[in-house]
Amino acid sequence: MDCAQVIFTLLLLVPCDNVGGASINVEVAEALASPGRMEKDRQSDPFRRPDLVLGFFEIQPGMVVLDLFSGGGYYTEIVSRVVGDQGEVVAHNNAAYVAYAKDDIDLRYADNRLANVNRITSEADQLDLPASRFDAALVMLTWHDFYYLDEENGWPAIDEASLVSKLCAALKPGAVLGLTDHVAADGSDPQETAQNLHRIDPQRIKADLQGSCFEYEGELQVLRNSADDHSQPMFAEGVRGKTDRVVYKFRRR
């Protein structure tokens, strides 16, 4: 890709009320402009702002990155293209997520189109990750799912403290833990908002990581939306894709 194509891609993505002073990662821009991406993903880019989010999370070529609860793989694919042949993405899902996102997953990985992605399926409490393996880990829009419970449909309770410990063990010192999630009201109960709204109070996220190996490093404001009603489910008509979302970066000590 030549310089003009990269610049054009950046111009397509730049319009936004608040980019929070973030810088754009050229490798991410090249990945976003790749002709092999799916049109559905391209249509999501202006709402998800991966050009800024992944730059904020310092994703670079050659990295080994964990995408925890990767769902249909929107971010997995972009990161796969950024880290390149010398890097690797481990795309995790639990059984319920695999079933929920089956069509997207089948399309995403058809014909080995993302050869540097290693997919694993495991419930969170049984997740076994190699020690000090990852340069970064992403938890994109799914921290609230640590508090979600739907055993009838195959989503068991998650021991969030144990999962944080597993992430600590799996990430290298200095690695980034990057996460985004839909904002719930201040002081709201995490089980209630996860179950009914698929949101979480951002202070709960910070509390979950307090006292762990992770140090809070900052927030990117690009996905904040002060007009969002935090009492509405993120799936609600007119709400999805427009929620108030935090983008947090933590650093592995």
What are the residue boundaries of the structural domains of the chain, listed by start? 3-252
Q: Are 107 and 38 in contact (CB under 8 A)?
A: yes
Q: What is the pTM of this model?
A: 0.92
How crowded is residue 177: how many other Cβ atoms within 10 Å of its Cβ?
Answer: 28
**Does the pLDDT of residue 163 top 90, yes or no?**
yes
Residue 175 pLDDT grade (very low, low, confident, very high; cuts 50, 70, 90) = very high
**Does the pLDDT of residue 81 top 70, yes or no?**
yes
Comparing C-alpha atoms, which of 240, 247, 206 is closest to residue 223?
A: 247
pLDDT computed for residue 24 by the predictor: 78
Instruction: For residues 180 and 140, give the distance between their C-alpha atoms in angstroms, rounded to a whole number.
Output: 5
Sheet holding 245-252, edge to edge: 117-121, 88-93, 64-68, 134-140, 171-182, 245-252, 214-220
Percent of the chain's residues with pLDDT above 70: 91
Instruction: For residues 200 and 158, give the distance between their C-alpha atoms in angstroms, rounded to a whole number.
Output: 15
Q: Span 231-248, mean pLDDT? A: 97
Residues 6+ apart with CB under 8 A from 75: 50, 54, 67, 138, 140
Q: Residue 136, class by beta-carbon neighbours within 10 Å (0-12 exposed, 13-18 middle, 19+ buried)? A: buried
**What Cα–Cα distance (Å) separates residue 27 from each residue in 7, 92, 244?**
12, 23, 27
pLDDT computed for residue 25 by the predictor: 87
Q: Which amino acid type is present at position 196?
A: N
pLDDT computed for residue 12 by the predictor: 46
**Does the pLDDT of residue 13 top 60, yes or no?**
no
Q: Which amino acid type is present at position 185?
A: A
Across the chain, mean pLDDT equals: 93
pLDDT computed for residue 22 by the predictor: 65
DSSP 3-state of 113: coil
The topology (CATH level 3) of 3-252 is Rossmann fold (3.40.50)
pLDDT in tens, 19-61: 555 677 899 999 999 999 999 999 999 999 999 999 999 999 9
**Does the pLDDT of residue 181 top 70, yes or no?**
yes
How crowded is residue 51: how many other Cβ atoms within 10 Å of its Cβ?
Answer: 28
**Does the pLDDT of residue 82 top 80, yes or no?**
yes
**Does the pLDDT of residue 9 top 90, yes or no?**
no
Alpha helix (H) ranges present in 49-185? Answer: 50-56, 74-83, 95-100, 102-108, 160-170
Q: Max alpha carbon distance in the chain (Å)?
A: 52
Instruction: For residues 150 and 216, give the distance between their C-alpha atoms in angstroms, rounded to a whole number.
Output: 30
**Does the pLDDT of residue 99 top 60, yes or no?**
yes
